[in-house]
Amino acid sequence: MTEPFVAAVVQMTTTDDRMANRDTAERLVRRAADLGAQVVALPEMWPYIGRTADQAAHAQELDGPLVTGMRALAAELGITLFGGTFAETSAVPGKVHNTGFVAGPDGGLLASYRKIHLFDIDVPGGVTLRESDQFVAGDRAAVVDTAHGRFGLTTCYDLRFPALYEALRVAGATCVLVPSAFTAHTGKDHWEVLLRARAIEQQVYVLAPNQAGWHNAKRQSHGHSMIVDPWGHVVARAADGEGVALAVIEPARVERVRTHLPCGEHRRSFALPE
């Protein structure tokens, strides 16, 4: 069993200023490492939030300069870096993948994940977002082995689909990442509830770095980045605005919770009603 470790979730307000976004992300990752974090996680789409057309115009490959730069930062700081998500080039003209990646403390690329569930919603009096207009959905769940255990990879709207999280637990995940740009409209009622539910259901730690505040005149994210333990307790929460939240992750706690309440052993197949 791996030893306890310190994890940090980064909260920031991404805009259409790519250089400023990169500087903010690097500064906050460094702050987390200075505070003792061995695992650091960035939010969804931290390099750019702006015009739809610009995502495809500035998309990169996994071996492009953005990911390469973050891998170098992970190596410099000696941390495992969950690099949030970025716009990855796709085979569909004008569209991109919403892709997460993981860099090891030696700078190696450990894993990547393309967001499966796309957020297409029109809330009366609220926000209208159609991710399918600019993104191509992924079709494969992902886990990654690190020096600190096996992590499951998800992104934002995936949080509403518990079957994905069950699959990650079955695949051996003891921690799950949820880098997000969860909207303020839905976040105020659903963000914490869903994070705690996924942690309780699958008896995993959930690390949820979120975007916060106004990205532009039309789009606002909820913030409240947090870390939830396998009993559903919120053990770290970011304040308003940009910053980091840290918590000690205890792999032994996952084992204790699963031993005392062995839900995984009680799962049964069943026939659906006609």
Which residues form the catalytic set?
44, 115, 156
Distance of alpha carbon 263 from alpha carbon 274, whole angstroms: 27
DSSP classification of residue 135: B
- Long-range contacts of the stretch 157-160 (C-beta < 8 A, 24+): 157/115, 157/117, 157/118, 157/119, 157/131, 158/115, 158/116, 158/117, 159/194, 159/195, 159/198, 160/117, 160/194
DSSP classification of residue 157: G
Collapsing DSSP to helix, strand or coil, 193 comes out as helix
With a CB cutoff of 8 Å and minimum separation 6, the contacts of 85 are 44, 45, 46, 98, 99, 100, 115, 155, 179
